[in-house]
């Protein structure tokens, strides 16, 4: 009996998360049927779409609108304003393979089609196929609605607003699509693991959307860091061709800029350019030991670290992997780049917090040594490779002679004789990721409620 009750609790989680009143939720064009209890104690959520869905290419849509963020340079929160009218193209990203998230997507689509009929909905290909399948399972209807999809590079130039349905990971995956360009403002709803980037419960989707469309939404800027990955050689010792690097880049599913940022080298090197909202991690991967990495700050040698790897984090990422590795917690309004070592073979490699005008270079030494568990150093004949991940997404492998350059995305690139002008400030306002928030107390509530910051010992009653 206890087993049966536990299974019943598991199979109806979406009702509590979405707060859908029984017996059904109805929005124009949609009729969401609640889950039924099956004899086998397993259930399938039955979606019925009362419109005929037509999937169209995203290239048919007008180009991306750029909003304005009104407020002082050092104002914690700013107002999201649309000078050329409210957003037209809305990109919705969802946590995959979750029935309650699909329920939420259908409810949101119904609301947008009803309240904002001039808006165009953009979905990634996987989500668009899911909606198509729902339509095929239902009866044939005459009323038609369009959903637009395409490759990541095609979507990037069209999305005015990004809506996330899921957890923090869903937001990071959505923002990673704009790794080489300007990210649209992000409106996120909590339908996954609790995190610091999820200010809204899904039940509040109507007022949250209304504030965005009416220009009353408050937003806060989250710093991004950029990483130039410079690959010198392949594993066979030959130079890395641009085509081979492009193939690796396609596996990352992002359209990136390619430029050579190392002018001092006489031989050919190719670079891959990506951005991170949380962190950039260089680590040993599956190697059963440590790797040696040379670290430079603004061209000056800092140290050679022998460790599992290094984490380069934004303030947003300070509560993620960096925190687990012993890094500091940094408020998102602080503009900085964090360096945290992962399990260093040293008692004195403390976490570093650097200003955003710092340029960090990390090189994999030409002869990398593997440190075994008993601290005996063994020089391996083969090349030791490091793994690189950006916001939790594996990007590439790095070998001896390869290097990465980490710097702030928003820091003005000035000559010694240049001063910061209004044009630089406007450019700064376009950088980073602007997230719709409830209040400037979201961060404090997060570290108290989710991390249990400075929680004391429990005393006996």
- The CATH number linked to 260 is 2.60.200.30
SS3 239: strand
In a domain, 455, yes or no: no
Note whether residue 153 is domain-resident.
yes
pLDDT of residue 8: 37
Name every residue whose Cβ is closer than 8 Å to that of residue 175 and which is 6 or more positions away in sequence. Answer: 162, 183, 186, 277, 391, 433
150 with 261, same domain? no
Q: Is residue 436 part of a domain?
A: no
Q: Which of 193, 222, 251 is the last residue of a domain?
A: 222
Cα of first residue to Cα of last residue in the chain, in angstroms, is: 35
With beta carbons less than 8 A apart as the criterion, state whether 268 and 232 touch. no
Cβ count near 126 (within 10 Å): 12
- Phi-psi group of 253: left, alpha or beta (phi > 0 → left; psi -120 to 50 → alpha; rest → beta): left
Alpha-carbon distances of 330 from 41, 296, 313, 314, rounded to whole Å: 46, 23, 10, 8
- The mean pLDDT values, 10 residues at a time, for the chain of 461 residues are 41 42 38 35 44 88 92 83 94 92 91 93 92 65 81 93 94 88 91 77 94 94 91 58 52 38 36 87 88 95 95 95 94 93 94 95 71 40 76 89 90 54 58 86 78 77 70
Task: Judge if 310 and 165 occupy the same domain.
Answer: no
- Considering the domain architecture, whether residues 209 and 229 belong to the same structural domain is answered as no
Q: Are residues 150 and 50 in the same domain?
A: yes
| Within-domain flag for 102 | yes
pLDDT the model gives residue 419: 57
pLDDT of residue 131: 85
User: Helix %, strand %, coil % for the chain, to 5?
Assistant: 25, 30, 45
Look at residue 7 and tell me if it is in a domain: no
In 3D space, the residue among 161, 162, 225, 164 whose CA is nearest the CA of residue 193 turns out to be 164
Whether the pTM exceeds 0.85: the reply is no
Half-sphere exposure (Cβ direction) of 301: Cα atoms closer than 13 Å: 6
Contact 108, 18 (CB under 8 A): no
Q: Return the SS3 of 440.
A: coil
Give the closest residue to 90 by CA, choosing from 157, 152, 158: 158
291 with 319, same domain: the answer is yes
Are residues 203 and 176 part of one domain? yes
- Both 215 and 232 in a single domain? no
With beta carbons less than 8 A apart as the criterion, state whether 156 and 255 touch.
yes
Domain check: are 36 and 156 in the same one?
yes
Q: Which of residues 382, 408, 434 is at a domain's end?
A: 408
Q: For residue 65, give Cα distances in angstroms to 57, 217, 426, 443.
A: 18, 17, 16, 29
In angstroms, rounded to a whole number, what is the distance separating the alpha carbons of residues 188 and 93? 10
Query: Is 416 a domain residue?
Result: no
User: Which residue, 385, 408, 431, sits at the end of a domain?
Assistant: 408
DSSP state of 214: T
Same domain, 165 and 242: no
CATH assignment of the domain containing 159: 3.40.50.10330
User: Are 315 and 327 contained in the same domain?
Assistant: yes
Q: Examine residue 386 and state whether it is found in any structural domain, yes or no.
A: yes
Q: Is 68 inside a domain boundary?
A: yes
Q: Which residue has the tokens 């980073």?
A: 432
Number of domain units in the chain: 2
Is the domain of 212 the same as that of 235?
no
| Domain extent for 354 | 225-408
**Do 128 and 276 sit in the same domain of this protein?**
no
């Amino acid at each position: 009996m206890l087993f049966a009750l536990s299974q019943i609790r598991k199979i109806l989680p979406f009702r509590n998360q979405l707060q859908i009143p029984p017996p059904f939720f109805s929005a124009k064009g949609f009729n969401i049927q609640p889950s039924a209890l099956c004899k086998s104690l397993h259930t399938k959520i039955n979606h019925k779409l009362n419109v005929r869905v037509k999937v169209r290419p995203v290239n048919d849509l007008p180009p991306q609108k750029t909003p304005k963020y009104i407020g002082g340079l050092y104002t914690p929160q700013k107002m999201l304003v649309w000078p050329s009218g409210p957003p037209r193209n809305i990109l919705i990203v969802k946590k995959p393979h979750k029935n309650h998230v699909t329920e939420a997507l259908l409810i949101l689509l119904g609301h947008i089609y009803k309240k904002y009929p001039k808006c165009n909905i953009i979905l990634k290909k996987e989500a668009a196929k899911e909606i198509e399948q729902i339509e095929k399972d239902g009866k044939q209807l005459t009323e038609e609605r369009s959903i637009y999809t395409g490759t990541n590079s095609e979507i990037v130039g069209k999305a005015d607003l990004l809506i996330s349905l899921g957890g923090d990971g869903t937001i990071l995956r959505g923002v990673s699509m704009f790794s080489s360009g300007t990210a649209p403002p992000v409106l996120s709803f909590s339908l996954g693991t609790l995190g610091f980037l999820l200010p809204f419960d899904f039940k509040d989707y109507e007022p949250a959307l209304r504030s965005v469309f009416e220009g009353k939404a408050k937003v806060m800027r989250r710093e991004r860091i950029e990483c130039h990955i410079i690959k010198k050689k392949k594993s066979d010792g030959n130079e890395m061709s641009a085509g081979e690097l492009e193939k690796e880049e396609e596996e990352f599913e992002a359209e990136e800029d390619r430029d050579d940022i190392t002018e001092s080298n006489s031989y050919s090197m190719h670079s891959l350019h990506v951005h991170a909202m949380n962190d950039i991690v260089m680590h040993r991967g599956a190697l059963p030991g440590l790797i040696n990495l040379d670290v430079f700050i603004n061209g000056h040698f800092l140290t050679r670290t022998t460790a599992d790897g290094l984490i380069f984090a934004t303030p947003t990422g300070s509560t993620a992997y960096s925190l687990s590795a012993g890094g500091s917690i940094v408020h998102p309004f602080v503009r900085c780049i964090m360096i945290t070592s992962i399990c260093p073979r040293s008692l004195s490699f403390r976490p570093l917090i650097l200003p955003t005008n710092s340029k960090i270079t990390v090189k994999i030494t030409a002869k990398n040594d593997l440190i075994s568990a008993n601290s005996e150093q063994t020089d391996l004949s083969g090349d030791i490779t490091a793994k690189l991940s950006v916001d939790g997404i594996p990007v590439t492998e790095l070998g001896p002679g390869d290097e990465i350059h980490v710097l702030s995305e928003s820091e003005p690139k000035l000559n010694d004789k240049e001063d910061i002008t209004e044009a630089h400030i406007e450019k700064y306002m376009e950088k980073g990721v602007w997230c719709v928030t409830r209040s400037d107390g979201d961060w404090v509530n997060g570290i108290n409620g989710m991390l249990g910051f400075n929680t004391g010992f429990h005393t006996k009653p």
